[in-house]
Chains A and B, each alone.
Chain A
Amino acid sequence: EDKVVQSPLSLVVHEGDTVTLNCSYEVTNFRSLLWYKQEKKAPTFLFMLTSSGIEKKSGRLSSILDKKELSSILNITATQTGDSAIYLCARAGGATNKLIFGTGTLLAVQP
């Protein structure tokens, strides 16, 4: 069965802290690993990772894929209250190219 597991499930930090969110997946029919940020409505796309070891960066956010360990991390530096959200990773693949979402990490950044 396809599974995507994220850790921690929830996290509370203070503004300015750096956080690392983890995502692990099963290898069956793997194509890509995607990260999304979800606030009150639908998820917004952050990164898509296909190649191992290549960091993708966007402002204070960065992410990297480790195919050997079947995992990915999302780093957020100098966190701000606006970073408070659920962060979802999803594995893309299979015959229908569907996304299998992980459990999500609820991040709360306190002022």
Chain B
Amino acid sequence: GAVVSQHPSWVICKSGTSVKIECRSLDFQATTMFWYRQFPKQSLMLMATSNEGSKATYEQGVEKDKFLINHASLTLSTLTVTSAHPEDSSFYICSARPILAGATYEQYFGPGTRLTVT
């Protein structure tokens, strides 16, 4: 149980285009999902916290107009990278916290999406 999927697993796009990445919790419901990015050989950096039915909370320094997050249902959150540039090339990982997690910090990670902007 507790499987999180991401789609696509990798994507190449041209500079100036937009890319949408989906994060789904397959066998549980999640009111909260998190989006991270990771550069090669670096740690995960939290970009935003996505709550179902409300606006995402972005971390300092993350442009909310560039990284659009929509948490449309209890099993789906999407991250859209708008007007992508080569510096947006990175590994994007989502995680989902089950509704029943309560006071614990249980999060399940998706397999990640590698974005390359040419």
Contact = CB atoms under 8 A, between A and B. Distances in A.
Contact of B45 (A34, A97, A101, A106): A101
Contact of A32 (B57, B105, B110): B105
A31 B105 contact: yes
Interface stretch (A11-19, A41-49, A74-82): A41-49
The interface residues of chain A, by DSSP majority, are classed as strand
Contacts, number: 49
The interface size bin for chain A is 20 to 34
Pairs A-B, 10 closest by C-beta atoms? A92-B105, A42-B109, A104-B43, A101-B44, A41-B111, A101-B43, A103-B43, A42-B111, A96-B49, A42-B112
A99 B109 contact: no
A44 B111 CA distance: 10
A88 interface: yes
A32 B106 CA distance: 11
Interface in B1-54: 32, 34, 36, 41-46, 49
A41 B49 CA distance: 21
A104 to B, nearest CB: 4
